[in-house]
Amino acid sequence: MNGLKRLIINADDFGRHELINQAVEKGVTEGCLRSATLMPGGKAFESAVAVARRHEALGVGIHFTLVNGYPILPPQEIPSLVTAEGVFFDDYTVLVKNFLSGRVNLEEVRAELAAQLNKLEGAGLKLTHADSHQHMHTLPGIIDIVLALSKASGIKALRTPRTPLFSGEFGGLGQLIGRLGLGSLACLAAWKAERKGLATTEHFAGIVAGEAVSEAYLLDFIRQLQPGTTEVMMHPGLDNRVLIPECAWEHDFEAELAAIVSPAVRELAVSEQVEITNFLALAD
C-alpha cells in the first residue's frame, strides 16, 4: 500500500425507509458517502434503486438480511427463519440460539439469500460488495453460503467486521465478550474470503452498540487513520422522531448524517491525503 490511506464510509440499511434513502442521497451529493448496502426486503427498496441509478459515484452492495426485516421467499418455504407472522426474528440472539441448537435449516438460508441476491441483480445493479444486517453473514456455515453466492455472482469484496474492542462507550463484560466473539468470527470470515478470492478491508470501524459515529468521532478517526483501506459502518437518516420508532432502535441517525456531510470531515480527509472511495477500490 506504500502508506496509501483509503476510507470507505458505508451506509447500512439502504432501502429500509424512505428517510434513510434520502439521507444516502444527501450523503452522496453533499458529503463523503460513496458506499451503501441495500436491504433486499426493505420497504423502500424501489426508491433506493432509483437513488443508486441517479448517482454513479455510489457503490452499492447487498445487505443480506436474516434478522429484523422481511424475507423475499414465502414464509412457508423458510419456516426455520421466520416467526409465526412470517417475518424474520427481530432479535439476532434468537436466530443465533436457534442456529447453535441446530434449529436453523442452512438450505433455507441458502434459498433465501439467493432470492435476495437475485432481487438486486434483477434491479440491474452492479454490486460492489456483500455484508449483512447485524453481521449474521459471519456465522459458521452462513459465511460459506454468502461467499459461494457472492463468488458466483461476481461480487469481489466482503465486509469483515473486525470491531475494535473498546470503541465508543464501554458497555461492560457482556459487550466485551460480544465484540471478542464477533471479532473472532470476522477474522475467520476474512480468511475464508481470501481463499475464495474476495477482497476485504484491512481495518473496520463503526460503533456497533448503537451509538452514533459523530462528526467529532469521525474527525478524530481520520487523524489516526492507518495505511490501507478502512471501512466505517454508518446508519444515516433524516428524522430521528420517525426512524427511531419505525426501526425500533435508539440510534442517532441524524448525527451520523451530519458527520457524513460535514465540510470539516471532507477538508480533513483532503489535508490528510485520505482517499474517500467504495469497495470497487479493493477490486482494483
Closest listed residue to residue 20, CA positions, set 276, 251, 275: 251
Q: What is the pLDDT of residue 170?
A: 47
Q: What is the pLDDT of residue 182?
A: 81
Closest listed residue to residue 10, CA positions, set 119, 115, 135, 107: 135
Return d(Cα 259, Cα 38) in angstroms, integer: 21
Q: What is the largest CA-CA distance in the chain?
A: 55
Domain boundaries, the chain: 5-283
The answer for residues whose C-beta is within 8 angstroms of residue 241's C-beta and 6 or more apart is: none
The CATH architecture annotation of domain 5-283 reads Alpha-Beta Barrel (3.20)
Closest listed residue to residue 14, CA positions, set 36, 46, 41: 36
Q: Grid coordinates representing 269?
A: 480527509
In order of 89, 99, 154, 226, 282, the CA distances from 144 in angstroms are 22, 15, 15, 29, 21
Return d(Cα 273, Cα 284) in angstroms, integer: 19
pTM score of the predicted model: 0.94
Tens-digit pLDDT string for the chain (284 aa): 568 999 999 999 999 999 999 999 999 999 999 999 999 999 999 999 999 999 999 999 999 999 999 999 999 999 999 999 999 999 899 999 999 999 999 999 999 999 999 999 999 999 999 999 999 999 999 999 999 999 999 999 999 997 665 555 545 544 545 567 787 999 999 999 999 999 999 999 986 555 789 999 999 999 999 999 999 999 999 999 999 999 999 999 999 999 999 999 999 999 999 999 999 999 86
- Say what angle helices 215-223 and 253-260 make with each other, to 10 degrees: 50
Q: What is the pLDDT of residue 145?
A: 98
For residue 21, give the amino acid letter: N
Dihedral sign, Cα of residue 81, residue 110, residue 189, residue 60: negative
